[in-house]
Structure 1
Amino acid sequence: MYAITVFLAFLAYHVTARESDYCLANDNEPYLYFGTKSAYNFMHGNLKPELTCKPIQIFVISRHGTRYPGSKVIPKMKTLLNLRQQIVFNHEERKMGHLCEEDLQNFKFWQLDEHVREDMADFLSPQGEADLKELALRLREGFPSLLKPNDTSRMNSNYLFESTKTQRTEASMEAFIEGLFGSKNAVTPKTAPQNDTLLHANKNCPTWEEATNNEGYYTEVKKFNEGPEMQNVLVNVSRRLGFTENLTLDTVNIMYDMCRFEKAWRIEKVSTWCAAFSKNELRTLEYREDLNYYYYTGPGRDINAKLGCPPMKNMFEHFRKLEGDNYSEEPKGIFYFSHTVTLQTLATLLGIYDNHEKLLASNFKYMAKRQWRTTFVGPFATNFIAVFYKCNDTRSSNIHNKVLLHWAERIVQYEGCNVGLCDWEFLKQKLGKKADECNMDFCYNSGPSIKSNFSMLNLLFSFFALVSTFNQSFYI
């Protein structure tokens, strides 16, 4: 009898173990690719300055570091406290659900971060400060001749700093300055203009906003939400957490946001809420965000490249002043701090992450190696770094102007450049015309042509779709 009891206990244990299809607590390589909410610490490359040439100027535009959620998301995150209790009840009382014991215990003791409150909405987090300080330190080590100043009296003329007028970008800029020079007060930043068409062009471009509202760019995301991949996510997550009926898309979205925000806030830990998802389900959710941004800010719409041109035009204006020998009036470093829309539309203009095939709701399984992947295009603190060099010709006394481009500290591999180091003349041929023709006049040309293809019914549908659940957590 004793032997039978032991056997049954053994069998019960292994049935339970089989039902726990995934145990996050025991995973030494958890999934970290969370689109625009990815932690920069895991996503950046290894900065490789070209040491055989003399750097003359560095041009940087960075997204703010890791922030807290927006005001629309915070109230929803608070509902997870009750959901957590229901998940524990499902497992312990109803004997339903498939979380392993370690993950269940983590749910039992999970608490909402004390900073997730309305008065901290969109504020930079401590990890966000660290993101920018560490970036500054790496740049300082990579370009000491530019960023280790000997003459502190010329700081404001040698270094240009500017951010958009938001707490998260201003605090990111301050953290970067402190990391670079040891004090937040080492330089005086330029005051952000009232109508910022350089770093916040999307907020000052009615035509782009109108096109975004009307063109139905979210159609593919809507199809994907209703398609088999996302429906499988809803079914699997609901069953894993012990629910007999499917959780809503809204609930799954907020669990996913908590999963990726918590990882970005505390990079040494994995969020309890990530245990709700398998790795395949996280890949599905990541693709959905890529699909959204592909049309919202990426190569899916021509207008996005137009919106991304002001920073590139600004870079060309500075770099053209370095062509000759007299460039003493130019700053050694130019640093801008902005948002994901600005960075992603710039990447779209530069053609860095353009796919040969469009991202669609129907081709998820064929896009595993897609170029447009917001985890790498636009994580927290992502950045574009361009360095202008003077290079000696080993075969003559000539000096050549060259430029090295990085995206998130990874070398941009343009065809026609030598391991990322491009002749300045080549870049002028490739991008100079776009820089010269860049203006924001199109932002104020909305009229019948924009609206002609849309009925009032479509306009109303677009309005309500824009305030729908999946959009509320994407764009801030």
Structure 2
Amino acid sequence: MRWALLLLALASAASSQDTCISSDDDPYVLFGTKTAYNFVNRQLSNRRPEDVPGLRWDTSSAGNFTGCLILHAKTQQCKYCCFTAGLASKMVVTIRADLAQGCQPAAIWLLNRHGAHNPEADELSELERLNNYKDNVLNNYRTPGFRTNHNPQMCAADLALLSGWSFNILNRTFAGDLTSAGYMQTQDLGREWRRRYPSLFTTNNHDYLFKFANEKRFTDSFRAFTEGLFGAQAESIVMPRDNDEKLVRPYKFCPTWIKEVNDTSQNSQRNIFESKREFAEMVTNVSLRLGFNYDIDRDIIQRMYQMCRYNKAWDITKKSPWCGAFSREDLRRFEYAEDLETYTKYGYQSDLSPKLGCTQVKDFVNFFRNHVKEDAPVQPRVSVQFAETPLLLMLLTALGARHDNVPLTGDNYHTTAVQSRQWSNSIMDPFNANIAAVLYRCNPNGNFGFKDRYQILFLQNAQTMKIDNCRDGLCEWSHVISKFGDLADKCNLDFCNSAPRLNSFVSLSLTLVAFCFRYVM
């Protein structure tokens, strides 16, 4: 009874509001690097690999399907559509003649980000403090006359949702580990890749090479992915693996990048953006919405946003209680702030990004070179890596993908170019983000106009990736070598151990000038 009266009081206090996520059928679900993978593909406008003319997912039998073709929209003639053994023999013969002009998958290179995880160890105590702020918010709404009707307010349903929320600090040994949702999503991806390419993702362990850091988040990702691939057989199949830290975390072994970019950038563009008056107004509005008549600390608001997106990634079917503190535009601003940070550290703002991302370009180019050279099946045929946000974004930069004509800055948030930007963490780098390159062996000069016997299909989060001078993410092998071969061959991390470049040089020069001037005087 007492609980019912409390909710009634909260409802009457929140009769006026501008945000109510509990009743929003289309809530904003793009949370930068903490976005759930399930929310991403519906945001992408690129084509799926099965829509690219001339390509099939696989020629192996998968269920009742024995191949994939495209069905002509007007004539309905089967030029490249899915068919089964039950079709008329004449149709099957016609289709198989067309298949001879297409391509078959020969090898795949795959880079995966880990799935949703628990908060990091240094976040736990800060997030736990939100329990107190939750009580403060509820007390604000219970206090008669504390609020005025013209202020932005949370609706009763959102307050009720928040009242049932609590954060119990984890045993620190589990900090950063995959959540059950992150584990299951990684299993799902393993199943999906095998469904698409059954002739590549076989049960033969010699067809594989896995690479990842020897850390629990990645070993769990490896286990979940292989369970998705092989089900109950996973534990009995010993997979070749390589714990090459320098390959999957080159930035951690690069003092030059750490000093010049990671430590010294101070997120200058993000700071500019967050210093804008409208960002300060957002802080005021969030504070008012939570029932405070003063601006609460920005770090606390950032913590609330972090909890909002963690909750949504952990269970995509539920409303995230702390998201009720933010309007849709508030969430978009937080999303852009993080985009600015990664653009500076791992993207096109730094010329060191492609130098570190080239390690992955070198890895997939050399992997495919072996297959092209032999012109026959070569083991391994599947190369899979598990990594973190920096590596995926550095690889995209090295590939020249997701490049905006207008640089992202703290001053141009409201421009059309930024609002339709390519560099978006939510789309590029959600939990379980992946970048794949699939080698196809083709019959050139057929109906599909392939010039090279080998083609590379680039995919990002299972959608075709835009690569310059390629068709729907499909590139001639000769073009891949022309575009990336030199980068792969010259790739090394020698620059990482060199003395800091410009800043140190300028500093040294000024020191010498000052010394000489003092000596002369």
The interval holding the TM-score normalised by the smaller chain is 0.7 to 0.9
Task: Provide the rounded CA distance (Å) in 1 between the counterparts of 2:507 and 2:330.
Answer: 35
Indicate whether 1:89 and 2:171 are aligned.
no
Residue 413 (structure 1) aligned to one of 466, 470, 478: 466
Match of 2:33 in 1: 36
- Contact preservation (8 Å) 2:273, 2:337: yes
Match of 2:296 in 1: 247
Structure 1 unaligned runs (5+)? 1-12, 456-476
RMSD: 2.2
Task: Provide the rounded CA distance (Å) in 1 between the counterparts of 2:358 and 2:405.
Answer: 22
Indicate whether 1:223 and 2:272 are aligned.
yes
- Contact preservation (8 Å) 2:124, 2:169: no
Residue 105 (structure 1) aligned to one of 157, 160, 171: 160
Match of 1:181 in 2: 230
Indicate whether 1:146 and 2:195 are aligned.
no
Match of 1:427 in 2: 480
- Contact preservation (8 Å) 1:199, 1:337: yes
1:306-358 per-position Cα deviation (integer Å, ceiling 9, x unaligned) = 11111110100011112144444431211000110111111111111111111
Residue 437 (structure 1) aligned to one of 477, 490, 496: 490
Residue 372 (structure 1) aligned to one of 408, 418, 423: 423
Residue 362 (structure 1) aligned to one of 393, 396, 411: 411
Q: Describe the SS at the equivalent of 1:73.
A: helix
- Contact preservation (8 Å) 1:294, 1:359: yes
Q: Describe the SS at the equivalent of 1:61.
A: strand
Matches for 1:235-314 after TM superposition, within 5 Å: 235-314=284-363
Gap change, CA 1:282 and 1:172, over 3 Å in 2: same
Match of 1:74 in 2: 124
Match of 2:241 in 1: 190
Q: Describe the SS at the equivalent of 1:406.
A: strand
Gap change, CA 1:121 and 1:14, over 3 Å in 2: closer
1:101-130 per-position Cα deviation (integer Å, ceiling 9, x unaligned) = 111111111112x57442221101111111
**Deviation of the 1:415 alpha carbon:** 3.2
**Deviation of the 1:184 alpha carbon:** 3.6
Structure 2 unaligned runs (5+)? 1-10, 57-101, 509-521
Task: Provide the rounded CA distance (Å) in 2 between the counterparts of 1:305 and 1:116.
Answer: 37
Q: Describe the SS at the equivalent of 1:385.
A: strand
Gap change, CA 1:252 and 1:138, over 3 Å in 2: same
Match of 1:459 in 2: none
Gap change, CA 1:145 and 1:399, over 3 Å in 2: farther
1:143-176 per-position Cα deviation (integer Å, ceiling 9, x unaligned) = 11111x2xx4x41x21111211221111111100
- Contact preservation (8 Å) 2:35, 2:426: yes
Deviates more, 1:311-320 or 1:96-105: 96-105
Matches for 1:128-143 after TM superposition, within 5 Å: 128-143=182-197
**Deviation of the 1:418 alpha carbon:** 2.1
Q: Describe the SS at the equivalent of 1:31.
A: coil
**Deviation of the 1:451 alpha carbon:** 2.4
1:39-75 per-position Cα deviation (integer Å, ceiling 9, x unaligned) = 1111136852421311110100101111111111111
Task: Provide the rounded CA distance (Å) in 1 between the counterparts of 2:392 and 2:266.
Answer: 19
- Contact preservation (8 Å) 1:321, 1:327: no
Task: Provide the rounded CA distance (Å) in 2 between the counterparts of 1:124 and 1:110.
Answer: 21
Q: Flag as ranges the 4+ runs of structure 1 deviating above 6 A.
A: 395-399
- Contact preservation (8 Å) 1:20, 1:99: yes
Residue 120 (structure 1) aligned to one of 171, 174, 181: 174
- Contact preservation (8 Å) 1:163, 1:199: yes
- Contact preservation (8 Å) 1:175, 1:184: no
**Deviation of the 1:406 alpha carbon:** 0.4
Deviates more, 1:422-431 or 1:38-47: 38-47
1:213-266 per-position Cα deviation (integer Å, ceiling 9, x unaligned) = 454251111112211232122111000000011011100110000000110011
Residue type of the partner of 2:443?
A: N
Task: Provide the rounded CA distance (Å) in 2 between the counterparts of 1:15 and 1:164.
Answer: 52
Task: Provide the rounded CA distance (Å) in 2 between the counterparts of 1:233 and 1:109.
Answer: 26
* Matched pairs, number: 434
1:182-241 per-position Cα deviation (integer Å, ceiling 9, x unaligned) = 244323342414xx2210111111111011245425111111221123212211100000
Residue type of the partner of 1:258?
A: M
- Contact preservation (8 Å) 1:74, 1:117: no
TM-score normalised by structure 1 residue count: 0.87
Match of 1:22 in 2: 19
Match of 2:103 in 1: 53
- Contact preservation (8 Å) 1:31, 1:282: yes
Match of 2:394 in 1: 345
- Contact preservation (8 Å) 1:197, 1:310: no
Gap change, CA 1:117 and 1:272, over 3 Å in 2: farther
Task: Provide the rounded CA distance (Å) in 2 between the counterparts of 1:402 and 1:213.
Answer: 37
Gap change, CA 1:249 and 1:176, over 3 Å in 2: same
1:129-149 per-position Cα deviation (integer Å, ceiling 9, x unaligned) = 1121111111111111111x2
Higher relative contact order (CA 8 A, sep 6+): 1
Residue type of the partner of 2:23?
A: N
Matches for 1:150-161 after TM superposition, within 5 Å: 152=203, 154-155=204-205, 157-161=206-210
- Contact preservation (8 Å) 2:357, 2:394: yes
- Contact preservation (8 Å) 1:134, 1:179: yes
Match of 2:89 in 1: none
Task: Provide the rounded CA distance (Å) in 2 between the counterparts of 1:267 and 1:16.
Answer: 26
- Contact preservation (8 Å) 1:160, 1:190: yes
- Contact preservation (8 Å) 1:58, 1:332: yes
Q: Describe the SS at the equivalent of 2:121.
A: coil
- Contact preservation (8 Å) 1:202, 1:208: yes
TM-score normalised by structure 2 residue count: 0.79
Q: Describe the SS at the equivalent of 1:22.
A: coil
